[in-house]
Amino acid sequence: MKHIAIFRHASIEGPGYLAEFLDAHHIPWQLIAIDAGEAVPDSADDYSGLVFMGGPMSVNDDLPWIAPVLKLIRDAVAADIPVLGHCLGGQLISKALGGSVSRNPVKEIGWGEVTVADNSVAHEWFGGAQKFQAFHWHGETFTLPQGATHLLSSAYCANQAYAIGKHLALQCHVEMTAGMITSWCEAGAEEILTSRNSPAVQTAGEMQRQAASELSQLQGIAAQLYRRWVSGLHG
């Protein structure tokens, strides 16, 4: 099988639980570290799927790798190669396919409940789950591109996930591990402090305490999504 290409845009925002899932299922993958200056591939044809992780930047920033990534996403979708996006990654998919990304009404940082949409596509992706505690760290939000089916919402962000066929875009983070939560809280301490008046921002202590009770369920949701996504991989 060809490798899955996983694009990392910040050193602490790697594939996390996704890497554990792929390794457990003996699915090969390759990390492309955009944050370390690695080049965006010219074509998606060498990969069975494309995954885009999060990052602190905006898809609307003038960064040299954004235009090639958007083209790569469009080429993959045209070739029916599955694409998966987490947070910034979901926003990249949206922008590539004609959607837009703008400031969310409030910043979401930490654990927060999301509701699964009541439609057949959402049930295919999320199984029997109706609500769950997701992990969030974003200040922007995406619109749904043409042909997308809405999958998830939260009290503070209407568009938390959508699917277009075998392609999945997430605003929330399902890929979290305990170590990632700790490192994000350390690196984002100033942002947490300056955003503390938002009703959707937790303290670092709250995030880590809640992880003890919520992380296992979140990884179960992630496994459900990843199983559905890898079923569409190219050989």
Residues tagged active-site = 87, 173, 175
CA–CA distance, 117 with 185 (Å, rounded to integer): 30
Q: Give the 3-state DSSP-derived string for 25-44, with helices as H, strands as E and coil as C.
A: CCCCEEEEEHHHCCCCCCCC
| Cα angle value 49/24/235 (rounded, 5°) | 30
Assign 85 to helix, strand or coil.
Answer: strand
CA–CA distance, 53 with 47 (Å, rounded to integer): 16
Identify the H or E element spanning 187: helix 178-187
**Is the CB of residue 1 less than 8 Å from the CB of residue 28?**
yes
